Amino acid sequence: MDKNNNLPIKQPNQPPATQQEIDSLIERTKSTLVADMAPLTHLAYEKDWKDFQLFTKEIEQNHLPALDQTTVLYLQFLVDRKLKINTIRRRFAAIRYYHHNAGLDSPTEAVICKKMMRAVTRQLGSQVNQKKAMYIDDLKKIIDSIDDSSLTGKRDKAMLLLGFSGGFRRSEVVSLDRDQLHFIEEHLRVYLKRSKTDQAGKGLDKPIFGHPDSPYCAVKAIKDWLEASGIESGPVFRRIRRGQQINLNENKALSAVTYSSRIKHYCATIGLDASEYSGHSLRSGFVTSAAIQGKDVLQIADITKQDIRTVQHYMRKAKMFEHHAGEDLWD
């Protein structure tokens, strides 16, 4: 028996694998295949696929395999429901994913479906309605408003400062485990096991610069949270129960929805329009604030691990009125 797995390597005069061993291998294979994309993407695709199934059931058509005409009708159905273009694109991608996953040709590859998707994009506009970036001055006001004498306050302060200081995606923040945090004097190295730009799972490091004399130091806030919560392993950010109690035996991370809702909550607290901000606001806020302070694109991309073109897009928005061609025209 190979000590590295449960399936014997067949040698001469050895009996074949038992059905139990084969079933175990199949289950492990299924678990590995699920890692082909981020967990949140899987959840979104599952929801999208269920919506498509309901639609095909209503019009009495097959969903797997689906006809080209069925897919085109579904796209129009989504437009009629006034869904955003990014949601429609994701639903389209989910149809392709589930067909390919079943070993079938996808209707999304048909000429008429591609034509319809282009038409829908033109009709709705390809510009994404992005949420506002959280500027550093507004984040400071939020941190000042947080009562960090409570567990909830300590958690939220650490969570928001870390999300901003590392330019993290919300999924990266809520999925952090204690063993991914490595303190180096006053600084912090965060090891990400997987991220959107690291689908192969090679892992990458994010350096968080410590400012020990500042009330806005993410590293100090994380240390304070860990000490107060008693978390030594498992998810870093967790739900806090009534009475400011945390169940250390409940090995469950805070949800991405809660992360976003906490940001919105504090935005409203300082008088910002909460509907204009989201979990992405801290990430884009770091890029924007760093650009305003004169950091170059490579410095910023080294922290956020974004494509340089994406960083440049945020930088252009942050500096759109600098060196403007019309600046001195009326002098």
pLDDT tens column, 178-222? 999 999 999 999 998 765 555 555 678 888 989 989 999 999 999
- Residue 224 is predicted with a pLDDT of 95
In the chain, residues under CATH classification 1.10.443.10 are 136-318
CATH superfamily of 136-318: Intergrase catalytic core (1.10.443.10)
36-124 CATH: 1.10.150.130
Torsion angle (degrees, nearest 10) of CA 203, 256, 290, 274 = 170
On whether the CB atoms of residues 98 and 49 are closer than 8 A, the answer is: yes
- Residue 202 is predicted with a pLDDT of 65
Count of Cβ atoms closer than 10 Å to residue 296 Cβ: 12
More confident residue, 160 or 32: 160
Rounded to an integer, what is the distance from CA 62 to the centroid of its chain? 32
pLDDT tens for 107-138 read: 999 999 999 999 998 888 755 556 788 889 99
CA distance 326 to 224: 49
Composition of the chain by helix, strand, coil, percent to 5:
55, 5, 40
**Is residue 47 predicted with pLDDT exceeding 80?**
yes
Residue found under tokens 């949140």: 40
Cut 0.85: pTM above it? no
- Indicate the pLDDT class of residue 44, thresholds 50, 70 and 90: confident
**Is residue 32 predicted with pLDDT exceeding 80?**
no
- Residue 23 is predicted with a pLDDT of 79
- Indicate the pLDDT class of residue 51, thresholds 50, 70 and 90: very high
User: Over pLDDT 70: what percentage of the chain?
Assistant: 79
DSSP code at position 7: S
**Is residue 69 predicted with pLDDT exceeding 50?**
yes
Please calculate the CA angle 117-118-121 and round it to the nearest 5 degrees: 85
Lowest-pLDDT range of 83-92, 274-283, 299-308: 299-308
Per-residue tokens: 280: 């992405």
